[in-house]
Amino acid sequence: MHWKKAHFIGIGGVGMSAVAKLLKDIDTEVTGSDEEIYPPILDFLKQQGFSYKTPYAAINIPRDADLIVIGKNAKLVPESNEEVAAAFASGKTILSFPEVLGELSKKKETIVVAGSYGKSTCAALLAHCLESAGLEPSYFIGAVPIPPNVSAKIGAGNIFVLEGDEYPSSNTDPRAKFLHYHPSHALITPLAHDHFNVFPTPADYLRPFYDLAQLTKSLVACTEGPLSKEFIYSISNPVTYGLHEGDFHAADIVWGEKSYFNVLQNNAVVTNVETSLLGEHNVQNIVGVAALLFSKNIMSPEQFASAVASFKGIKRRLDRKSEKTSIPIFEGFGSSLEKLRSAIAAMRLHFPARRLIVVFEPHTFSWRNRDALPWYDIAFAGADRVYIFDPPRGGKETQLSLKEMTARVQESGITATGVAAANEALAAVEKELRSNDAILLSSSGELGGLIESIPRLAEQKFPK
């Protein structure tokens, strides 16, 4: 199906903007709207030359649009959003972005990358490897790679790499996003109970992954998430991988600014790789992509090692925020306990002699619901100083106060301070910052602009 003009309501979302790029690739004109749009998606939209408007308004919808794509944000419902209401009243075709991806991928050999954490890096690395091998894949990634700063592309080849999400497809479609993607093959990264507001129990959380497994011709799964073994034991003949265990695993790791390790298949060395990515979890991600590529005989070990060495990662997944300061400052996506702990462990592993300052924003409901309070007992292990930034609520549901979160971290033996405003946090970091520090910025939101302002501060105080 081809559309002449598509309008995206909620184009500032990472998935929405990536799908907009795919439609642009097939010569569909794209417009969009959102309440607010922030970097890196703001930069991406400008790079792609997309026309968009803020805030939401019924008048934003072009009269000649033949497709309207509506995002999943809770505010995108006709009862409270005039633009969404106008869309439903218009008689135009309305789809969610997973439905658009389903249309774009239905004639391709699809590889769906799903799981609780690591899927964006794995999807980006997989697409990078396939491109490096000259296979010209199509891809959809829920983050922006560094470089080429493009999260989606329609390629001339037959393979389509899709980062898959277990979250509901839209406010009117409760099916998991990845069930729309006609999955030929799947790479399942570590699994851990998440999105408690949608999946109250671990069994609820695993259900869409079982549904995905039933649709695929082949499946590669990690052994090392809290729910991974339960999943693996319930499906037929998966290829397994992990950092330490699985059909594919890593060995002989040498850590440094660049790290080196062997990829083993059934305890035999397949290849040795070099990577600039930080942390054990990224070694695990690399092994997962190797397991898929080698089990399907898609590329040679030599091609794989060369591609991994040139892969620089993705934005917001432990990417370095400035080369102009002697202070190592990295941003790690902090949407779940496992992601934050992995980021802190990576910083400790690569910068063991430095004092580690963590600036954290509990942006997702997973961090703000009362059942998550015990997370704060263990989340910051390895950090020396923690600032918890309390984001503007903006109507978001929350069950925990900043005071409660901060107190639990303090009770774990870590110095922690709650800060209610970005300028307060910046002033505190400026007063505290020393030459032997390393800084981890962690959020799935905007962190009040601190992702930009703290690196600028470090550049001024400790220029390289």
Neighbours of 268 (CB within 10 A): 7
| Tens digit of each residue's pLDDT (9 = 90 or more) over 341-372 | 989 999 999 899 999 999 999 988 788 888 88
Least confident interval from 47-51, 172-176, 261-265, 377-381: 47-51
393: pLDDT strictly greater than 70: no
Question: Does this model's pTM top 0.85?
Answer: no
Candidates 169, 68, 191, 168; CA nearest to 119 is: 191
DSSP 372: G
User: Is 444 in contact with 363 (CB distance < 8 Å)?
Assistant: yes
DSSP code string of 53-87: ESS--GGGS-TT-SEEEE---TT-STTT-HHHHHH
Measured distance CA(3)–CA(22) in Å, rounded: 12
- In sequence order, what are the beta bridge partners of 140? 152, 162
User: In this structure, what token pair is assigned to residue 234?
Assistant: 């319930």
User: Is 161 in contact with 22 (CB distance < 8 Å)?
Assistant: no
Dihedral of alpha carbons 229, 279, 380, 393, sign: negative
Neighbours of 157 (CB within 10 A): 15
Q: Which residue has the tokens 């709650």?
A: 418
Q: Which domains does the chain have, with CATH numbers?
A: 5-95 (3.40.50.720), 99-310 (3.40.1190.10), 317-461 (3.90.190.20)
| Tens digit of each residue's pLDDT (9 = 90 or more) over 64-108 | 999 999 999 889 999 999 999 999 999 999 999 999 999 999 999
User: In this structure, what token pair is assigned to residue 73?
Assistant: 């944000």
Measured distance CA(161)–CA(137) in Å, rounded: 7
Average pLDDT score, the chain = 94
> What is the structure's pLDDT at 396?
56
Give the distance from CA 163 to its chain's centroid: 9
| Tens digit of each residue's pLDDT (9 = 90 or more) over 255-281 | 887 899 999 999 999 999 999 899 899
Question: To the nearest 10°, the Cα dihedral for 40, 46, 51, 55?
Answer: 40
